[in-house]
Amino acid sequence: MLDSPTETRVPSKPLARAGQRLRAGLSARLLLLTVLFVLIAEVLIYVPSVANFRNNWLSERLAQARAAALILEKSPPDALPRALVEELLAGMETSMIALRIDNARRLLAVADMPPMVDFEIDLRKRSVVRDIGNAFDILLFGQKRTIRVVGPPPRGGDFVEIVISELPLRQAMLRFSWGILGLSLIISVITAVLVFVSLNGLIVRPVKRLATTMKAFQSHPEDARSILRPSQRSDELGALETSLAEMQKSLQQELRQREHLANLGLAVAKINHDLRNMLASAQLMADRISTLPDPNVQRFVPKLMSALDRAITFCQSTLAYGKASEKAADLMLVDLGPLVEEVGELLMLSPETEPALLIEIPTGLHVLADPDHLARVLTNLLRNARSALEAMATTPGGRRNIRIIARDGAGATRIAVIDTGPGVPAAVRERLFKAFSGSARPGSTGLGLAIAHELVRGMGGTIRLLDRHDEQAGTGAVFEITLPKAG
């Protein structure tokens, strides 16, 4: 009794650890994953956005250059004061404005010392991949380089061009990037909180409730309070709650039945033990009485001994079945013919006996089985068949016999035990392989076929009673054993 609490607590530790991990990690991981996924989405949006920002920024400078070109083109050279030209270039953050008309390039405004151009950007020819690559080149490596920007002219002409420093563009792109980052973080946090609150209420909290209920039920399965009370949800979690509650109720009921059966089995074992002792004492007294020369005693004592033998056998069979201690099947290749002949010899059955045993098994037929278990199964079937035939006065076909036929089939070996007896009554067929209820013969315990069914199933096979209108029409009882094919 001292071991019971320990056995109850130990299995609950893995589930308790799982519940702690669920409480500690699932919600936090959900929140972090939501933030991560939103940031990934923002990055996918940011990559083309920064390239588009660069194009727009340069397009604004070109628009200012086109407006200035309209004025400068109509003015004669050196008409505008130098200070005004430099102020115009400084306001546009450029060092040169040029216009090309009819393959003739005209400098409309230029600083005193224009820098050397490092690379060119032509806004007339745009490519998404090239624009993105150029934008990140400026963002990551741009600092002191000079850019020549070419765009469409204000009215007539081939193009207008400006020369600008890379630094103002990079600073503007950095400000844009920081703004996008801040906005992304705000959107991520808001989205994560909304998703977290929603999923926590819809999924995480119900899962925690299920885990807590399972832990409580595992610790105290006999307590009705540990059974989950399903919510009114109509989704998959609601169906899971309903299924879990039904499973817990079914399991609790089964545990109660097993407890009752265990108590009942213990009581039956005690009764059988005492009853068997009393029957043994009665058998000894009957043995002594059988030595008396009284004719009446000599006539009734054999019947009394037979009844006592059946009672003792029933007690022993009941105890043996209640132990449920059959050893596991040790499968091996068994030569079926010699095994059946050996069983027949032990039961003193042969083709010359009454009833006769007829064996129709091909030479060298092997089955994959436990020889001891298969011998017990055949012994039970042959005993039942002999008892049924001995209870008959005559048979319609003449001589009483038992036939054992074995054939190889598709993936299995079939063994049929056929007798010429009266067959199995219809009232017994449904409970034929159930312990204590599968026999119609007086004095029978009803355990033989139940044990045979258990042994055959342990060898991976089946045993069944064929209908009399099957291929063996006109016979008595036909039991068919199916075992997995050897090899």
Q: Model confidence over 141-172: pLDDT tens digits?
A: 877 788 888 877 666 556 777 778 888 888 88
Lowest mean pLDDT among 4-8, 69-73, 94-98, 264-268: 4-8
**pLDDT tens digits, one per residue of 322-358:** 555 556 788 899 999 999 998 888 888 888 888 899 9
Which secondary structure element, helix H or strand E, spans residue 184, and what is its range?
A: helix 166-199
Alpha-carbon span 102 to 245, nearest angstrom: 87
Q: Looking at domain 332-484, which CATH architecture does it have?
A: 2-Layer Sandwich (3.30)
Lowest mean pLDDT among 105-114, 174-183, 263-272, 364-373: 105-114
The overall average pLDDT reported for the chain is 75
pLDDT score of 322: 59
pLDDT score of 317: 63
Beta bridge mates, 107: 98
Q: Can you tell me whether residue 32 is helix, strand or coil? A: helix
Classify residue 110 by burial, with Cβ atoms within 10 Å: 0-12, 13-18, 19+. middle
Collect all residues with Cβ–Cβ distance below 8 Å to 336 and sequence separation of at least 6: 361, 365, 366, 367, 406, 413, 415
Which secondary structure element, helix H or strand E, spans residue 122, and what is its range?
A: strand 119-122
Which secondary structure element, helix H or strand E, spans residue 105, and what is its range?
A: strand 104-110
pTM of the model: 0.42
